[in-house]
Structures are given as structure tokens and as C-alpha cells.
Amino acid sequence: MSFVTVRDLFQSYGGRPILERVNLDVPEGEFVSIVGASGCGKSTFLRLLLAEERPSRGEIRIEAQPPAQEPGRERGIVFQRYSVFPHMTVRDNVVAAEAFPARWGRLGRAAARAARDRAQQTLERIGLGHMGEAWPAQLSGGMQQRLAIAQALTARPRILLLDEPFGALDPGTRLAMHDFLAELRAETRMTVFMVSHDLEEAFKLGDRVIVFDKPRWDPTDPGAYGATITYDFDARNGGIPFQTIPSTRLTEETHVLQPA
């Protein structure tokens, strides 16, 4: 049964098409990795899923409900560049994720103590246990990105949107964050959409890998057409395609797409 349903989605900016004829059905709890050449609309698609933007045509429905008019707490996002609350300590940034649903964003005394204990445990899991009382400005860029990811996961949204979230991390930390994400997914059954330029990472983490590309291409006017889903791979079954859409032009990245 489809949890996220995308039907005949088009998006244009100033008359310039970015996405066209995008259709997708995703069951709840699935991890969808999104790959494709730069500028082919992957981040635009995430913003549409977040309901930060409205499509030019078509719709996105969650559990068959009417399309969202604006972002809500059920959808969380982590951007490529970290985004945390600079006026809160590292630990309080994680606690805030639990407080979002509470009235006025405040937890009672006992609930706040429990949330701080859980936040400290989370920080230990991502290698920031010693930085709980520090301010975000005192962290490196990679540390702030880990904090942003932890904050988003702690909020336990039903849909988590990740826009190249591990790009600023060193290889060892990236692997640790992969494990952290996998553990939280197993606990919450959240549905995840992740944009990545790392094909090995896309196949490692995703249940399926979808490719955005332009099936129609005018060499005299490269911006004449938008991108759509040209391939849909089952990442848990050796990369067997769910569907293949013939394309008159595939990018070099698509040609070399193979599961790790």
C-alpha cells in the first residue's frame, strides 16, 4: 500500500521546467535513495515532498490525505549544510527536537530531565558526548552536521528528507552516522528520502534507488525539458530494476550506475 503517492508532478521556475511527469509510490518505512546529475531537480523534489514548495502541476499525497499546504512536524529535513539553533547548547539542540510537539515547545520538569538524559545518550552515539555544554559555534562543520542529523532523527518524523547529509563528514564518521541512521529507522519505521551523489552510499542505505534524468534533450536549448524518474532500482535485490524508462539521453553518472 502506498504511503507517499506522487502523481504527474511538474515543477517550473519562471517558465523553465525542472521536473516533469514524476510518478512514484512508496510504502511506509521504505528508504528511497535519489541520485542523478547536478541540476536535475533532486533537491527540488525534496522541497516538494517537504511542502516547502507547491508543484506547477500534479500532487503529492501522504496516506491519501489532501496535499499539504506547508511543512509540518511529520516531515523532517537535513540539508547539505548544517542548520542548528546557535543560541542553544549542543545538548539542548537535541532536547528541542523532543519538545517541538509539546505545548509552547516546553517540557515539564520530569520530562525535561528524561529528555536531557536521552539527548546525552544520543550525543554519545554520534561521538559528541563530551560537547553537550558547548555552543554550536564551538563545533567544527562536521560536528555541527552530526548534531543537525541527530536533532532531525530525535524528532522522529514520519518522513525524513536528507539532502546529501553526509557530504561534510570524514569517512569514519560517515560510517558511524550510517549505523546511527539505520538503528533509528529500525526503531521508528520512518520513511526516508535521501539525495546522494555517492552511489555506493545510495545502494548501501536505500531499499530502492531512483534516478532522475532528462529523457528528452534538446542540444540547442538544454533547459527546454525537465527531469523525471528514469530508473527505479531494488537496492535490496542486487539492483534489479523495478522499472526502466527508455531515455534518449542518459548522463555519464546514470551509465555507470551499478550497485556496490
Q: Which domains does the chain have, with CATH numbers?
A: 1-74+160-260 (3.40.50.300), 89-156 (no CATH)
Write down the pLDDT at residue 185: 83
Separation CA 152–CA 175 (nearest Å): 18
**Is residue 248's pLDDT more than 50?**
no
Predicted TM-score (pTM) of this structure:
0.83
Around Cβ 1, how many Cβ atoms within 10 Å? 8
Of 164, 172, 189, 194, the closest CA to residue 82 belongs to: 164
Write down the pLDDT at residue 183: 85
The residue to which cell 516547502 is assigned: 52
Separation CA 152–CA 90 (nearest Å): 13
CB 37 within 8 A of CB 253: yes
Taking only the tens place, the pLDDT of each residue in 40-93 is: 999 999 999 999 999 999 999 999 999 998 888 788 888 766 678 889 999 999
Separation CA 172–CA 183 (nearest Å): 17
CB 228 within 8 A of CB 217: no
> What does the mean pLDDT of the chain come to?
85
Structure-model confidence comparison of residues 258 and 3, the more confident one: 3
Residue 56 burial class via C-beta count within 10 angstroms: exposed 0-12, middle 13-18, buried 19 and up? middle
Cell triple for 19 = 521536473
- Helix and strand totals (H; E) in the chain: 7, 10
Of 240, 207, 237, the closest CA to residue 3 belongs to: 207
Residue 6: which pLDDT band, with cuts at 50, 70 and 90? very high
**Is residue 163's pLDDT more than 80?**
yes
Cell triple for 133 = 555544554
Taking only the tens place, the pLDDT of each residue in 193-227 is: 999 999 999 999 999 999 999 887 767 766 667 89
Cell triple for 212 = 532522475
Residue 260: which pLDDT band, with cuts at 50, 70 and 90? very low
Of 174, 118, 121, 115, the closest CA to residue 149 belongs to: 174
**Is residue 181's pLDDT more than 60?**
yes
Cell triple for 147 = 548534531
Separation CA 203–CA 223 (nearest Å): 29
Residue 251: which pLDDT band, with cuts at 50, 70 and 90? very low
**Is residue 246's pLDDT more than 50?**
no
Residue 254: which pLDDT band, with cuts at 50, 70 and 90? very low
Taking only the tens place, the pLDDT of each residue in 99-123 is: 766 665 577 778 888 989 999 998 9
The gap between the terminal CA atoms of the chain, to the nearest Å, is 29
